[in-house]
Chains A and B, each alone.
Chain A
Amino acid sequence: RKEVEQDPGPFNVPEGATVAFNCTYSNSASQSFFWYRQDCRKEPKLLMSVYSSGNEDGRFTAQLNRASQYISLLIRDSKLSDSATYLCVVNIPNDYKLSFGAGTTVTVRA
């Protein structure tokens, strides 16, 4: 089983729509979770950390479900500029590593 798995998409949504997607992780002892955003042919950039209680940053909401071992990202009122690949990142305990998912591609159309 892969350490981190994501639906590659693409999720094609109209402007203003809400889009949500999940990421599953295999190690139940993982403690740190992040969403990174990667634009085409650019480097990944941290979008937000994911906290146990869930957290919001503007139109973006991240949730953690430890029982089912997944994290989610929800984007409200989608903008054209939200088009990107969203990478799920999870720490590997005792290994000092961060494991990346392959990414979920979101395309917002006018």
Chain B
Amino acid sequence: ETGVTQTPRHLVMGMTNKKSLKCEQHLGHNAMYWYKQSAKKPLELMFVYSLEERVENNSVPSRFSPECPNSSHLFLHLHTLQPEDSALYLCASSQDRGEATNEKLFFGSGTQLSVL
């Protein structure tokens, strides 16, 4: 059983393509996140949504565009990506995005993205 489902699992795209990653959480959480994980590097926080409002945009290039239509769904729209954007993209959710940041994260299985 997985509380956070992410599709697709794998994606290969050219630099001129437009694609979207989808994430859905079934946990009743109020906060959702996009992370990027490159090989041998720490997870990098990209975007945070709390109660469907974007509260964090971590200096991410505009070729990445998030969308959160409701508290259960999160998208990451991709266009004109670069080869260095190839990485594992992880969606996560937490109950809330509280001040103590004591929230435990639940991750989706990730999308392994390759940009050619």
A residues at B contact (CB < 8 Å): 4, 8, 31-32, 34, 36, 41-46, 49, 87, 91-93, 96-103
Contact = CB atoms under 8 A, between A and B. Distances in A.
Interface in B15-56: 40-43, 45, 48, 55-56
Q: How large is the interface on B (under 10, 10 to 19, 20 to 34, 35 or more residues)?
A: 20 to 34
B59 to A, nearest CB: 13
B102 A44 contact: no
A43 B45 CA distance: 15
Nearest to A42: B109
Contacts of A41: 112
Given A43-B90, A43-B110, A44-B107, A92 B101 contact: yes
Contacts of A92: 101
A55 B22 CA distance: 36
Interface of B: 40-43, 45, 48, 55-56, 90, 97, 99-102, 104-110, 112
B33 to A, nearest CB: 9
A4 B55 CA distance: 23
Contacts of B99: 96
B108 A43 contact: yes
For B42, B55, B112, the residue with the greatest tally of chain A CB atoms inside 10 Å of its CB is B42
B112 A98 contact: no
B8 to A, nearest CB: 14
Contact of A46 (B43, B97, B104): B104
B42 A8 contact: no
Nearest to B50: A96
Nearest 3 CB-CB pairings of A with B: A43-B107, A91-B101, A100-B43
Given A41-B112, A44-B90, A96-B56, A102 B102 contact: no
